[in-house]
Each structure stands twice: as structure tokens, then as C-alpha cells.
């Protein structure tokens, strides 16, 4: 089970923009004028677009500095997550229900950096049942399918066997990433994309939200 975080399990969207504003000012001394679209995109994709749109050369060094500053800002301010955001309905119950199954391993495919992924989930006590060490994270690539490939590779190496992979997310980018690697794509219409848009992207199952735990289990289990 590979979960997306933002607007799938939690909603903390305003803080992300604030953290990027702080990071750009700290790294380049610039105000945030052009805000990239965040939905379904990786941290590397967002950072490359942000730097380019502010007339900065997106070198590997500058991208690394931006990511380091994002982590620093999030480390200083992550206590705000619990009041500025919320866990989405059914998220905790779904994670707990799947954790009770010996045949399921749960991790992440998220555009977030690993440290920020932990902050966002821990703020709402959603971190207990996830193996963060085998996730696919946003610093790896601007191409989300590569995050799925990395998570599967790490899971198979750790457990010494293959897996039936399920990706759960709220955008067509999540669906595409799953389909690219033959995974089951479960769309959750808790973000800016409608259920119909997720179906059109090719999702095998689309849920309105995660509130019905039985429906979630039926969608993700064989």
C-alpha cells in the first residue's frame, strides 16, 4: 500500500506555500511572486519550476539548498500543522485497519521530502502504521512514476519478495504513476480533482473520501 499524503490523508496546503516563501527568501533573497501548482507534483518538480519562474538557474546545488531550507523551516514551524491543517475523514481508521493485516505493508509515494512527510503525518498521529524507510519521496525526481518504482524496489529488497502494489492518491498524477508500473490505482476525490477526472485518468477505483473503511478495504484488497 503506497499512500499519497496531501489532500489524501491530510490537508495542510497553506503551510506549504508559506514554507516555500520562507525558503526562497532565505536562499535567494527573493520574494515569492510566482507560485507553482502543488497538486500531485513532487518537491523536485515544484522547486525546479519555482526557481526557473524567478529567473534563477535551477542547478543541483541550488535545488539542494532549497530543499535543505524547506526542511529547516518545517522543523522550526511543524508545530503549526496540528492547528493549521487537519486529518481527512477516515484516514486514521483506514491505516489502522490495514495495519491489522499480516499480508499488508504500508508506505508512501509522496511529493514531500522525507522529513516533511513525517512532520505532516505525525501532527495528526497518522505515522504509526507506515514504514517510512521504503517510501518514494519528492526529492528523487520530478517524475512521480519514478517514486513508485523506488518504493516498490525498496519494499521488495527489504522483504525479499514481490508485492501486489496499490497506490492511493487524489490527483491524476497519482493515478498515472500507479498505471505506469502496473499498480492498482485508487483515486480519492478529496483534492481539487473530481471523481470523474480521476476515472478519466484511468483509476481502477474512485472513492469520494476515506470515511467508509469497509469501502476502502474493498478497493485496495484483492
DSSP state of 104: -
Same-domain status, 179 and 102: yes
- Which residues does 101 contact at the CB level (< 8 Å), separation at least 6? 221
- Residue numbers of the chain with a pLDDT score lower than 50: none
For helices 213-220 and 91-99, what crossing angle results, to 10°? 50
User: In Å, how far from its chain's centre is CA 150?
Assistant: 14
Q: What is the pLDDT of residue 178?
A: 98
What's the rounded Cα separation, in Å, for the pair 98 and 35? Answer: 36
pLDDT value at position 48?
97
Q: What is the CATH number of the domain that holds 177?
A: 3.40.50.1000
Rounded CA separation 42/201 (Å): 18
pLDDT tens-digit series, residues 135-159: 999 999 999 999 999 999 999 999 9
Q: Within 13 Å, how many C-alpha atoms sit on residue 5's CB side?
A: 34
Query: Against a cut of 0.85, is the pTM above it?
Result: yes
Residue 136, strand partner residues: 109
Domain boundary among 60, 82, 104: 82
Return the DSSP state at 30.
Answer: -
Closest CA to 158 of 105, 101, 103, 109: 105
Number of domains the chain is built from:
2
**Does 65 share its domain with 98?**
no
* Closest by CA position to 99, among listed 204, 33, 1: 1
* Whether 60 and 112 share a structural domain: no
My answer on whether 95 and 173 are in the same domain is yes
pLDDT tens per residue, range 60-90: 999 999 999 999 999 999 999 999 899 999 9
Last residue of a domain, one of 44, 65, 82: 82
Parent domain of 51? 13-82
Gyration radius from the chain CA atoms: 17
DSSP secondary structure code for residue 10 in this structure: E
Domain match, 191 and 132 both: yes
Same domain, 108 and 137: yes
**CB-neighbour burial class of residue 73 (10 A; exposed 0-12, middle 13-18, buried 19+):** buried
Amino acid at each position: 500500500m503506497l499512500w499519497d499524503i496531501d489532500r489524501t490523508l491530510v490537508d495542510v496546503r497553506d503551510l506549504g506555500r508559506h514554507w516555500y516563501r520562507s525558503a526562497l527568501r532565505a536562499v535567494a533573497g527573493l520574494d515569492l511572486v510566482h507560485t507553482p501548482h502543488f497538486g500531485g507534483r513532487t518537491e523536485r518538480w515544484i522547486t525546479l519550476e519555482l526557481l526557473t519562474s524567478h529567473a534563477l538557474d535551477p542547478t543541483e546545488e541550488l535545488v539542494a539548498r532549497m530543499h535543505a531550507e524547506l526542511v529547516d523551516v518545517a522543523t522550526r514551524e511543524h508545530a503549526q500543522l496540528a492547528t493549521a491543517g487537519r486529518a481527512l475523514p477516515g484516514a486514521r481508521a483506514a491505516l489502522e485497519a490495514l495495519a491489522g493485516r499480516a499480508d499488508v505493508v504500508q508506505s508512501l509515494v509522496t511529493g514531500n521530502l522525507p522529513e516533511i512527510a513525517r512532520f505532516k503525518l505525525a501532527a495528526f498521529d497518522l505515522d504509526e502504521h507506515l514504514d517510512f524507510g521504503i517510501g518514494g519521496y519528492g526529492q528523487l525526481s520530478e517524475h512521480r512514476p519514478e517514486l513508485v518504482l523506488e518504493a516498490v524496489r525498496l519494499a521488495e529488497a527489504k522483504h525479499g519478495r514481490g508485492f501486489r502494489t496499490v497506490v492511493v492518491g487524489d490527483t491524476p498524477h497519482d493515478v498515472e504513476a500507479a498505471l505506469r508500473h502496473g499498480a492498482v490505482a485508487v483515486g480519492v476525490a478529496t483534492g481539487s480533482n473530481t471523481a470523474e477526472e480521476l476515472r478519466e485518468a484511468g483509476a481502477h477505483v474512485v472513492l469520494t473520501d476515506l470515511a467508509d473503511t469497509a469501502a476502502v478495504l474493498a478497493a485496495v484488497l484483492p
